[in-house]
Amino acid sequence: MSPAVAIVLTAGLTATACGLLGPLLVLRREALVGDAVSHSVLPGIVLVHLVLGTRATLPVIVGAAAFGVVCVLALEALRSTGLVRADAAIALVFPALFSLGLLGVDRWAADIHLDLDSTIYGQIAFVPFRTLVLGAVAVPQSVVAIGAVALVDLLLLVAFWKQVKVATFDPGFARTTGVDPTVVARVLLTAVAATAVTAFEAVGAIVVIALLVVPAATAHLLTDRLGVMIAVSVAVGWVAAVSGYAGAVALDASIGGAMGVVATCCFVLALLLSPQHGVLTRALRRRQRVRAAGRAAAGRGTAAVPPTPLRRPGTCAAGGSCRPAGGRWRPGTLALPCARAAGTGALPPRTAAGAGGCTTRLAQASAPGRRSR
């Protein structure tokens, strides 16, 4: 396996794992959990080094994942006190855990010169050099590790698809159908912590944070289906992996950084041009509407009309409830033309039967219908 293929494959698998979970984080307003976890795992790594005296991949991942889970639980505990808001909870937990790790490095690990940037948090450029022999071929360790994690994430998502969907969309309903939203949240965040930690070790923290949030945010701007959103998010991650690598080689710059930049570019494009939610597309649509309205007004020989009615539909001056007539408010009429005032448009038969004028809610409600007895 050539170095380039190994790097792109590792990055792409990371993008897959992150792209599967990221959309759920974004939808649950927990987009910054990846950032929090990435800083919180340091004490775990130091602890493993201290107790086992090793920097081998597997024990480090386990130790780091343990502290990732500690971070997630601490966040939940802080939030459950009701005294601290979600953002402040994150800002309290991860600096504290990170500081704990820094002190540990200072006290016990200084002799081995743990370089925080690359050794602990991985450097994707080193991926091809650490291989594992599977059968007859040498496969980079990280491809195996991240591939396994991505597979587990996929299986989890497929197995618990309905629970995740219900608990995220409507927690109140979930509870009545026997799904506990807090359990779902805990499983999801644990999966995020494990994924993030495995990926840090191989590709570096910043790549993971970027791939958890940015592709998912991009996808959220592009689609209204959860399944599609996840697929788009994975795809954007792969685009970032492939073109990020190419860009980094061309610029002679950090591969991880370049991937983050490419992902962000995708996000900016979606933000501007998304067919439904894009900033530019919406501005364009608004302008077309205003122009069309202006043309129509000019055709009728009146001034341009305000596009929104002055009153909420369904109310009228008399205080009852009636339906607005189709027409727009025009200068000259006093109030929003409700069906009665304008003298056009049919009233619902039931209300029309009531005593003249706008019928009240009460009268309308006592319309024919099955009486109780």
Partner 1 sequence: MDALIDALPLPYTDAVVATGAAVLGLLAGLVGVLAVLRRRTLVGDALSHAALPGVAVAFLLAGVKDTVSLLVGAAVAGTLAAVLVLALERSSRVRPDTAIGVVLSGSFSLGIVLLTHIAATGDAGQAGLQDYLFGQAAGLVQADVTLFAALAAGTVVVLALLHRPLTVVLFDAAFARSTGLPIRLLELVSTVLLVVAVVVGLRTVGAILMVAMIVVPAVAARQVTGRLATMLVVAGVVGAAVGTAGSLLSTATRTPTGPVVVLLGAGVVLLALSLAPGRGVLWHARRLRRDRRRRQREGVLVDVAAAGPAPVAASALGAGRPSRAVRRTLRRLRRDGLVRATGAGWSLTAAGQGAATAVLARRELWWAWLEHGAEVAVGDAREPDPDDLAGSLGAEAVERLRALGGTAPAVAGGAR
Partner 2 sequence: MSAADARPPALEVRGLTVSYGRRPVLADVDATVPAGTLSAVVGPNGAGKSTLLQAALGLLPADSGRTLVEGRPARAALDRVAYVPQRDAVDWDFPITVREVVEMGRYRAAGWFRRVRRSERPVVDESLDRVGMTAFAGRQISQLSGGQRQRVFLARALAQQAPLLVMDEPFAGVDARTEAALLDVLTAVRDEGRSVVVVHHDLGTVRARFDHALLLNVRAVACGPVAEALTPANLRRAYGAAGVPGGAAGREEEPAWTR
User: Which residue type does 337 have?
Assistant: P
Applying CB under 8 A, among 55, 79, 175, 186 the residue interacting with partner 2 is 175
* Residues contacting residue 37 through CB under 8 Å, at least 6 positions apart: 68, 71, 72, 94, 192, 193, 196, 197
Of residues 43 through 82, those in contact with partner 1 by CB under 8 A are 78, 81
Min. distance of Cβ 42 from partner 2 in angstroms?
A: 33
- Using alpha carbons, select from 142, 184, 178, 176 the residue that is nearest to residue 160: 184
Min. distance of Cβ 83 from partner 1 in angstroms?
A: 6
Rounded to whole angstroms, the Cα distance separating 356 from 358 reads: 7
Name the segment binding partner 2 (CB under 8 A); options: 224-232, 267-275, 303-311, 330-338.
224-232
* Partner touching 57 among partner 2, partner 1, none, CB below 5 to 8 Å by kind: none
Q: Is 214 in the site for partner 1 (CB under 8 A)?
A: yes
Compute φ and ψ for 333, nearest 5 degrees.
Answer: -80, 155
Q: Is 365 in the site for partner 2 (CB under 8 A)?
A: yes
Rounded to whole angstroms, the Cα distance separating 154 from 133 reads: 25
Of residues 295 through 314, those in contact with partner 2 by CB under 8 A are 313-314
Of residues 16 through 35, those in contact with partner 2 by CB under 8 A are 27
What count of other Cβ atoms lies within 10 Å of the Cβ of residue 170? 13
Q: Which two tokens stand for residue 303?
A: 């001034």
Rounded to whole angstroms, the Cα distance separating 168 from 73 reads: 19
Applying CB under 8 A, among 10, 142, 163, 198 the residue interacting with partner 2 is 163
* Partner touching 163 among partner 1, partner 2, none, CB below 5 to 8 Å by kind: partner 2
* Residues contacting residue 113 through CB under 8 Å, at least 6 positions apart: none
Of residues 241 through 260, those in contact with partner 1 by CB under 8 A are 248, 251-254, 256-260
Rounded to whole angstroms, the Cα distance separating 320 from 340 reads: 11
Applying CB under 8 A, among 85, 282, 287, 361 the residue interacting with partner 2 is 361
Residue with tokens 């993971």: 208
Interhelix angle 161-169/181-203, nearest 10 degrees: 110
Rounded to whole angstroms, the Cα distance separating 272 from 280 reads: 5
Q: For residues 42 and 149, which CB has a smaller minimum distance to partner 1 in the complex?
A: 42
Binding stretches for partner 1 (CB under 8 A): 26, 29-32, 34-35, 39, 78, 81, 83-88, 90-92, 94-96, 98-100, 102-103, 106-107, 116-117, 206, 209-210, 212-214, 216-217, 220-221, 248, 251-254, 256-261, 263-264, 267, 271, 277-279
Binding stretches for partner 2 (CB under 8 A): 27, 159-160, 162-163, 165-166, 168-173, 175-179, 220, 223-226, 228-229, 313-314, 321, 323, 348, 350, 361-367, 369-373
